[in-house]
């Protein structure tokens, strides 16, 4: 679409930053919205004209006419979830004919979900529940990516279209999967039932499945612009996040080339999305986490409960050390600060500007859970803002303390703020330059 450059939107914290809203805001200015990583572990909520849409697999660009919604090869797709989402949107009158799915996207099968669940249960171990589990969403994401790495046991979307090949693949894989599941204590898989389901998925997905790499390159060659939608978030990236408490894909912009076939140099603008505070779901380090009434208040005001699992999210102050690191890894060119309205009404706010490790101060974020567990956040206090900010539509409408809070973030991170969100609706947004 004229005037828009190819852009990536990426979460800079542990997910749930409100990327869905931003993607929805920008989608109409691009010709295609493209997912490159993750699977049904992601949950994007978008509120359009008072109607809330919760999408897990389908790029939120689907809510815009004239915009293609593309699921790239780097995504792991649970066909049952995808088709439920397709049906749900169609029932609400959303046209889903612009959805495309890479023939090389890997398929999440029932055994992946079973393995995810069993691994978590077994690793949790003893009665204390303090074992080696990750706290996954149990959507089969890790086991599906593991099969991609194993190669021999993987099924890709294109395989669903050819009955002979599908039957051959599943029959070859099944003895191994059955043995593994049996060892983990899970019931056996009924091969014919699985083949029937997989063929039915293939029949319904056929019109959407294609070579998305050539599709996207064709769009770029025609001067069209793409919007890449990162699922999950930077600190959950398997290489650059708080390992091992991460997901199984490259959620950062570094995942775009591998997950779509589009070279990184084609991405001209990177919008990094973060909350005005921090949250995290599941296990893993979180230096600025709070366990007090402030956390409770942020959780309630921000409705901090998982879109995918409904789990209460852990809450804490904004961690600028982690944020600066995330901007560096993604090559962020502009910041989008979400949920500023949630912080209204506090007398004082805290921003973490340094970590203390073994008595030494550092401004480096180490993406390793063992190191981060030993970190003490050093925070600076800034005045809170009393007024509600949901009606603000420009920076000038904000209380001066709220503007000072944003200025401090911008100055610390060294990246300009382009968007500030002050409420869930599309309209409740301050667009500084977008």
Residue 231 has a CB neighbour count (10 Å cut-off) of: 30
Residue from the set 30, 112, 113, 139 that interacts with ligand IMP by CB under 6 A: 139
Check: CB of residue 108 under 8 Å from CB of residue 156: no
Euclidean distance between CA atoms 321 and 296, whole angstroms: 23
Q: Is the peptide bond preceding residue 244 cis, with omega within 30 degrees of 0?
A: yes
Residue from the set 8, 22, 46, 141 that interacts with ligand IMP by CB under 6 A: 141
Task: Write down the least CB distance from residue 307 to ligand IMP, Å.
Answer: 8
Check if 16 is active-site.
yes
Euclidean distance between CA atoms 237 and 108, whole angstroms: 19
Q: Binding to ligand IMP by residue 135, rule CB under 6 A?
A: yes
> Residue 67: CB partners within 8 Å, gap ≥ 6?
27, 28, 30, 31, 32, 33, 61, 98
Q: Binding to ligand IMP by residue 247, rule CB under 6 A?
A: yes
Catalytic position from the list 24, 31, 44, 237: 44
How do 318-319 and 348-357 pair as beta strands? parallel
**Per-residue string for binding with ligand IMP, 276-295, x by CB under 6 A?**
-----xx-------------
Check if 44 is active-site.
yes
Q: Binding to ligand IMP by residue 78, rule CB under 6 A?
A: no
Phi/psi-derived region of residue 151, left when phi > 0, alpha when psi is between -120 and 50, beta in every other case: left
Q: Binding to ligand IMP by residue 16, rule CB under 6 A?
A: yes
**Binding region for ligand IMP (CB under 6 A) out of 119-127, 245-253, 332-340, 409-417:** 245-253
Residue number, 159 or 304, with CB nearest to ligand IMP: 304
Q: Which residues within the stretch 159-218 sit at the binding site for ligand IMP (CB under 6 A)? A: none
Q: Which of 230, 431, 232, 229 is nearest to 335 (CA)?
A: 431
Residue from the set 27, 32, 89, 236 that interacts with ligand IMP by CB under 6 A: 236
Q: Which residues within the stretch 299-338 sit at the binding site for ligand IMP (CB under 6 A)? A: none
Phi and psi at residue 254, to the nearest 5°: -65, -20
Residue number, 116 or 159, with CB nearest to ligand IMP: 116
Q: Binding residues for ligand IMP, how many (CB under 6 A)?
A: 20
Residue number, 312 or 383, with CB nearest to ligand IMP: 312
Q: Which of 393, 216, 257, 252 is nearest to 326 (CA)?
A: 252
Tell me which H or E stretch contains 410: helix 400-413
Which residues sit at the interface with ligand IMP, rule CB under 6 A? 14-16, 41-43, 134-137, 139, 141-142, 232, 236, 245, 247-248, 281-282
Residues identified as active-site: 16, 44
């Amino acid at each position: 679409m004229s005037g828009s450059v190819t852009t990536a939107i990426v979460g800079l914290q542990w997910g749930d930053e409100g990327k869905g809203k931003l993607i929805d805001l920008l989608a109409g200015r691009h010709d295609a919205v493209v997912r490159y990583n993750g699977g049904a572990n992601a949950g994007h909520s978008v509120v359009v004209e008072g109607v809330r849409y919760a999408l897990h697999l389908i790029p939120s660009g689907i809510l815009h006419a004239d915009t293609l919604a593309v699921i790239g090869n780097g995504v792991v797709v649970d066909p049952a979830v995808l088709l439920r989402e397709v049906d749900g949107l169609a029932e609400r009158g959303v046209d889903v004919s612009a959805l495309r799915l890479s023939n090389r996207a890997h398929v999440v099968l029932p055994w992946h979900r079973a393995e995810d669940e069993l691994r978590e249960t077994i690793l949790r171990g003893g009665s204390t529940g303090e074992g080696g589990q990750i706290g996954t969403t149990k959507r089969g994401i890790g086991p599906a990516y593991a099969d991609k790495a194993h190669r021999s046991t993987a099924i890709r979307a294109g395989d669903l279209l050819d009955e002979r090949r599908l039957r051959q693949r599943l029959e070859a894989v099944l003895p191994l999967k059955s043995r593994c599941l049996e060892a983990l204590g899970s019931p056996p898989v009924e091969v014919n039932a699985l083949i029937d389901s997989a063929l039915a998925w293939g029949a319904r997905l056929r019109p959407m499945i294609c070579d998305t790499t050539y599709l996207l390159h064709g769009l770029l060659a025609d001067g069209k612009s793409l919007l890449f939608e990162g699922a999950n978030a930077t600190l959950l990236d398997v290489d650059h996040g708080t390992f091992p408490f991460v997901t199984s894909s490259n959620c950062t912009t570094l995942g775009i080339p591998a997950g779509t076939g589009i070279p990184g140099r084609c991405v001209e603008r990177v919008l990094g999305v973060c909350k005005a505070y921090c949250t995290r779901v599941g296990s893993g380090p979180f230096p600025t986490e709070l366990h007090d009434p402030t956390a409770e208040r942020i959780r309630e005001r921000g409705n901090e409960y998982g879109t995918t699992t409904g789990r209460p999210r852990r809450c804490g102050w904004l961690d600028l050390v982690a944020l600066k690191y995330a901007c560096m890894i993604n090559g962020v060119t502009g910041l989008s600060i979400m949920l500023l309205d949630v912080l209204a009404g506090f007398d004082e706010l805290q921003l973490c500007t340094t970590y203390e490790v073994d008595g030494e101060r550092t401004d480096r974020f180490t993406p390793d859970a063992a190191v981060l567990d030993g970190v003490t956040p050093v925070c600076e206090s800034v005045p809170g803002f009393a007024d509600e900010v949901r009606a603000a539509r420009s920076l000038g409408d904000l209380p001066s303390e709220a503007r000072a809070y944003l200025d401090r973030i911008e100055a610390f991170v060294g990246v300009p703020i382009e968007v500030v969100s002050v409420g869930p609706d599309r309209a409740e947004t301050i667009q500084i330059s977008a």
